[in-house]
Amino acid sequence: MDAMSLDPKIAARLKRTTDGLVPAIAQQYDTGEVLMLAWMNDEALHRTLTTGRATYWSRSRGEFWVKGDTSGHVQHVKSVALDCDGDTVLVKVDQVGAACHTGERTCFDADRLEISLG
């Protein structure tokens, strides 16, 4: 196995989009707070698993980004799990500062939708 490649057993379980990505949900490890959703390819997942820093693939920039390298809002990885279908990654992190690019703690605070039953 190449030093920079994902373990083949993990790679075989992943169900990727047509562009080779899987959604990755970042969650605060101790409170369960859902922080953000980003995208990973095999290399980003490998880097996350081997560095302890959440690494994602930017679809708009076409490059890897390590959460916190520019903002200082680092995600220290505590655990990583695949869902039952292998098509989503859950990254439990210790979030330093804001997780969202808007400066908010979580990307899911700003636009709560009203639920109207019946």
Residuewise pLDDT in 10s, the chain (118 residues): 445 689 899 999 999 999 999 999 999 999 999 999 999 999 999 999 999 999 999 999 999 999 999 899 999 999 999 999 999 999 999 999 999 988 899 998 877 788 888 7
Cβ burial 33-48 (10 Å sphere, 16+ → b, else e): eebbebbbbbebbbbb
**94 in a labelled binding site:** no
Are the C-beta atoms of residues 74 and 96 closer than 8 Å to each other?
yes
**7 in a labelled binding site:** no
- Domain ranges (residues) in the chain: 8-95
**85 in a labelled binding site:** yes
**87 in a labelled binding site:** yes
- Identify residue 107 by its one-letter amino acid code: C
What's the N-to-C CA distance of the chain in angstroms? 56
- Kindly report the CATH number that applies to the domain delimited by 8-95: 3.10.20.810
Cβ burial 9-32 (10 Å sphere, 16+ → b, else e): ebeeebeeeeeebbebbbbbbeee
